[in-house]
Amino acid sequence: MLRTGLFLVFVLLSSVFCLEDATEEFEEHLSIKSLKDGRVAFSFTFKTSLRDAIPRDPRMLAFDNDDSQHYTLFPLTLGQILRQYAITELHLTLNAGKWNYDAWGYPDEPDVGVGAELRAWMAGNSISSIDDRWQGVRNSLAGLFCASLGSLDEQRTTSPRSTFPPEGALPDWGLPHELRHASHASEHVCTENLTPFLKLLPCKSRSGLAMLLNPHRIFDADWHGIGLHVLWRPEGVEVRLSVQLVSDPLRISGQKKQDWSFSSLFDRKVEKACPVAKYSRVSVELPSSGVYRVYPEPPQVKDGIAYYDLKNANEVWDIGTMWPSDFEYRITHLALSKPNPALVPFSVRRNLLGSTQDRGQLSIVLTNNEQDVLQLLYLETMPWIIQFYLHTIRVHADDALRDDLISNISYILPIPHARPATFESVLTLPGRSTITFTMDVAKAFLRYTEHPPDAQRGWDLPPAIFTPLRQSSRNSTYLGKRVYSPSLLVDLATPDFSMPYNVIIFTCSVVAFIFGSVFNVLTRKFIVVRLEPQKRPESPPSKNLDSDESGKLDTSESDVH
């Protein structure tokens, strides 16, 4: 009777949880790609969908009667932040390293800029309301991910609507939506960011593909980054957590072979699938050339991609590839072989020229790798410490002045200590050509209190962003894919911080000497001590016999003489 009752309770609870989970779905996917330089790119995607859910109307923020939110798979802490500040769309990335577009191609997640990058779409009646919520959401995310996102203040915040269109849908509330974007090139991802990131997953790192996220191996990769993306679609709210990294099996193994596996690169295996995942899949993009072997044998191969379903198989997964021969870098055959087709339609080189600490020149070299004309949307968000001189803009194409190749210039002036500069324009690249964009800049003179602790190192400037506007004839997937340039390091006029230190030390020494002397005089009690002369002890009387004898002796001697 007792067993029957427990069984009925179990069935009832199971039915209740199934009804609650019907509006929430969790999916995980791992994409693996072998690169031409011997490295391997991994892209983890964990997607949680909340069906039939809509963002909170910002007009309801004035009331405290928000409906209670009960989540089973959806991360509760993140949901509370989204509801508290009425966020429609959110994107946060923390990256370390430089993504090499020429050798690795486009990443699965396009936001690969160096450092921290945060942007959000919010609706509101006033700009002040949106700015207040923007400040609250970045401070909340800073506490959630243990990152210095609080430094993304108004001095780093911009609103470039053309470069960052909404990836999802925006609700029609009759209110305008505004974009807030900020980046900080000095903020890098580390273990303290990965730990709260894993806590947002329903299975944490105990099962599923998240078991491979070994922090010792992730942060040893040549490039690594994590991302959080929140979108709204008519079907509901979608949260996508991503981890991307590029590992070098040749460096890790110490051998000349490109062999890799889960155990060799992550020091872990997938022992069991996440039980609440709708599906758990691994896709391996097979190399286009060479002799290799993929293990275990993939159950499905389609369009050069091997697929594995981890959800329906109860086994330990250690997927990998093996090459019978040693890996040879293509640079050794560069002079004898034909150049390989470019993985991206254009290449970017960005530098800040000049040897002085008050002026310089921003130089950007763009190379079109295709025959067709290519148009790029160019975005530059620069802190107020760097000021642009737009009248000095020059564009050269193959050493010829071509000012007609730049158009649609939009510039928002910086405000010292309050707002950065935002520069947007459209650059036209003729086929198979190289253009050079130059512009003179001025460097600000900062107060000594505004310098960072490592002032001699310099200031990190955010990367520039280029977005193709015209569809390529060779590959239509280039349209709208952003390309981040490397960040820059600018040297500003820096005072000699050792002189204040010397002055402080000398002043403290003088003050200590004077204070010690005065304090000694004021607090010491002087007492006059009178000393009486001490009586010497009397010596014993001498014997008269000696004196008589000596006298007699002298007398006798005188008589003799």
DSSP per position, 107-142: -SSS---SEEEEEEEEE-SSHHHHHHHHHHHHHHHH
Residues 356 and 420 in one domain: yes
Low-confidence ranges of the chain (pLDDT < 70): 1-22, 68, 330-341, 470-479, 534-561
Question: 69 and 136 share a domain?
Answer: yes
What Å distances lie between residue 220 and 137, 224, 327, CA to CA? 31, 9, 21
Domain termination residue (choose one: 490, 520, 551): 490
> Is the peptide bond preceding residue 107 cis, with omega within 30 degrees of 0?
no
Asked if residue 539 belongs to a domain, the reply is no
Position 370 in a domain: yes
User: Of 313, 334, 355, which residue constitutes the final position of a domain?
Assistant: 334
- Say if 537 falls within a structural domain: no
| Number of domains composing the chain | 2
Whether residues 187 and 283 share a domain: the answer is: yes
Assigned token pair, 302: 């389609």
| 284 in Cβ contact with 298 (< 8 Å) | yes
Q: Residue 374: which domain range?
A: 345-490
User: What is the secondary structure of 41-77 as a DSSP string?
Assistant: EEEEEEEEEEET--PPPGGGGGSS-PPP---SSS-HH
User: What is the total residue count of the chain?
Assistant: 561
* Domain annotation covers residue 381: yes
Classify residue 507: in a domain, yes or no: no
CA distances from 469 to 109, 368, 372, 472 (A): 19, 14, 13, 9
**Same domain for 298 and 361?**
no
**Residue 17: inside a domain, yes or no?**
no
Nearest to 66 by CA among 75, 76, 55: 55
Q: Are 482 and 110 in contact (CB under 8 A)?
A: yes
Let me know whether 121 and 186 are in one domain.
Answer: yes
330 and 211 share a domain?
Answer: yes
- DSSP of 421-435, one letter per residue? EEEEEEEEE-TT-EE
- Residue 455 in 3-state DSSP? helix
pLDDT reported for residue 349:
96
Of 290, 313, 334, which residue is a domain's last? 334
Token pair 């470039």: residue: 160
Whether residue 448 sits in one domain with residue 300: no
Tell me, yes or no, whether 298 lies in a domain: yes
Q: Considering Cα of 320, then 323, then 326, then 331, what sign does the dihedral take? A: negative
Clarify whether residues 290 and 385 are in a common domain.
no
Q: Indicate the pTM of the whole model.
A: 0.84
Domain identity same for 203 and 290: yes
Per the structure block, which two tokens stand in for 41?
Answer: 């790119």
Give the pLDDT of residue 424: 95
Do 31 and 58 reside in the same domain of the chain?
A: yes
469: domain CATH number is 2.60.40.740
In terms of domains, do 457 and 366 share one? yes
Contact (Cβ atoms closer than 8 angstroms) between residue 315 and residue 269:
no
Distance in angstroms (rounded) separating the CA atoms of residues 70 and 76: 8
CA distance 305 to 32: 10
Residue 532 Cα distances to 69, 529, 535, angstroms: 96, 10, 9
Would you state the torsion angle of the CA atoms of residues 83, 85, 89, 90, taken in this order, to the nearest 10 degrees? Answer: -110
Say if residue 380 is in the same domain as residue 263.
no
Tens-digit pLDDT profile for residues 123-149? 988 888 899 999 999 999 999 999 999
DSSP state of 399: T
Distance between CA 186 and CA 328 in Å, rounded?
35
Burial level of 227, CB count in 10 A (0-12/13-18/19+)? buried
CA separation, residue 119 to residues 219, 291, 319 (Å) = 25, 44, 36
